[in-house]
Structure 1
């Protein structure tokens, strides 16, 4: 079937991108593999009118509201291949079926590459977090850990005392002495002993057998674009110590004509409110391109 716009990703950014297109009565397909980035977290915070709501419920309500528009189709499945064709793009879903669209919005999210520390992955989104604005308040100014795993860790450690009593675990990661001095002025303790494992709720077992009890831990993951078809499509990619993201302009256009990107896939560091805002911009931009750039 031929669509005006195909949106790959049915989470916050993708749903937001679809809404202005649906309200313009454009034919839209949303393709979703059902794996939100924040699926490990029960609650979402910081989004106006939805602060503290279940993350899954925000998506489900948005999906129901979107599908009330008759020009929107929902495709459950994983995109395997995207190719440029005459008049737009062909999208192969689950290697079993395909659709075509004049425009493409990528809202497929990213994969978090976590430090290889025993006990960390199973606590991700529950007692180990990536964003203090999203999860710091609920720690009630308790004891907070931050594990150094990227250049961004020291920056976050400078911020975290606003949310609690902070310890930076270097875990053999190099941090400049100047930064350590700055952290001291913020009251951040620096722990140089190696981490052996995360145990209990969010306690750190050190290599010497000592245990530091914490109410929560923050860690910077590396954002990875796990979809091979993004690279094959030819989108320009931004890379730094935080990971990878599709490069876009202010209107969320990528380097490939007719392709837009929004949400975490196009932003190094994100949140639900940012994803929703990015999605709205991408949807409006895609609609306007159908009118002015045909």
Structure 2
């Protein structure tokens, strides 16, 4: 069976794009590996109409709504390879199954490269976050840690006082100059130069000098990259951003390969559920236009 569009990635951006296409009565195949980026978070915030809802429930309800459209095909599994050209793409699955499509949409999301700190990984999405607009309010204006990963962390430390009392942990990753140091001080940010040994409890920080500092939560800037190499294997160009690597697209969300599009966290910055949904909706509309004109 040939599809008008094969969507690789069935999370928020991919489903938002698929919805536009299904409503245009196009045949859409969604291939989903079932690994949402925010699967570790208990609540999603900042998404109008869904504030405070379990992100898994948002995804479940969205898929349920898509399933009402008869031109949808949903496959659970991993897409390993994409080849071909506009109007004649082929996607090969991990089990060697092949699917044909006129257009491709990469909505694979991203993987986060986190600071190598003991105790951080298991707290990611629970008490350590990347987006204050998504999680800052719930910290109740308590003590917030900002764990540096490089120069971009300065911006994060400057912004976070909107949500609480901030300590900026340099952790050997960044040294502010005199001007930056003065700016942080003016914002009430405490600078901590002692390295972090590990995170303990809910969000406590154990420093290498033995001190234990309690916090309501932490923010850190992970480095991201597309969670699947499939777009790059097709030949789509990647580009560097202040947050990491993403798939390069034009204003219409088309990649450097004609007929192949990309959206969501894998193809835009910054990242949030609401921004991913908006980006996906736009990509879906542009995919439909590419099929019509």
TM-score, length of structure 2 as denominator length: 0.97
- The Cα shift of 1:163 comes to 0.2
Counterpart position of 1:55 = 55
Contact kept in structure 2, 1:7 and 1:14, CA below 8 Å: yes
Residue correspondence of structure 1 range 54-203 to structure 2 within 5 A: 54-85=54-85, 87-177=87-177, 178-203=179-204
Counterpart position of 1:274 = 275
Q: Which runs of 5+ in 1 are unaligned?
A: none
Alpha-carbon distance in structure 2 between the residues aligned to 1:290 and 1:276: 21
SS of corresponding position for 1:46: coil
Q: Flag the 1:4–1:173 CA change in 2: closer, same or farther, 3 A.
A: same
Alpha-carbon distance in structure 2 between the residues aligned to 1:96 and 1:233: 17
Alpha-carbon distance in structure 2 between the residues aligned to 1:269 and 1:116: 23
Root-mean-square deviation (Å): 1.1
- The Cα shift of 1:230 comes to 1.7
- The Cα shift of 1:151 comes to 2.0
- The Cα shift of 1:229 comes to 2.2
Counterpart position of 2:34 = 34
Alpha-carbon distance in structure 2 between the residues aligned to 1:90 and 1:150: 40
How many residue pairs end up in the alignment?
292
Alpha-carbon distance in structure 1 between the residues aligned to 2:45 and 2:5: 30
Q: Deviation digits for residues 249-285 of structure 1, max 9, x if unmatched?
A: 2211111100111100001330001000000011000
Counterpart position of 1:243 = 244
- The Cα shift of 1:158 comes to 0.5
Residue correspondence of structure 1 range 212-251 to structure 2 within 5 A: 212-251=213-252
Alpha-carbon distance in structure 2 between the residues aligned to 1:211 and 1:58: 37
Residue correspondence of structure 1 range 248-259 to structure 2 within 5 A: 248-259=249-260
Contact kept in structure 2, 1:239 and 1:245, CA below 8 Å: yes
- The Cα shift of 1:85 comes to 4.8
Contact kept in structure 2, 1:144 and 1:167, CA below 8 Å: yes
- The Cα shift of 1:5 comes to 0.3
- The Cα shift of 1:86 comes to 7.2
Q: Which runs of 5+ in 2 are unaligned?
A: none
Contact kept in structure 1, 2:85 and 2:259, CA below 8 Å: no
SS of corresponding position for 1:141: coil
- The Cα shift of 1:70 comes to 0.1
Alpha-carbon distance in structure 1 between the residues aligned to 2:5 and 2:280: 13
Contact kept in structure 2, 1:31 and 1:74, CA below 8 Å: yes
Alpha-carbon distance in structure 2 between the residues aligned to 1:267 and 1:73: 26
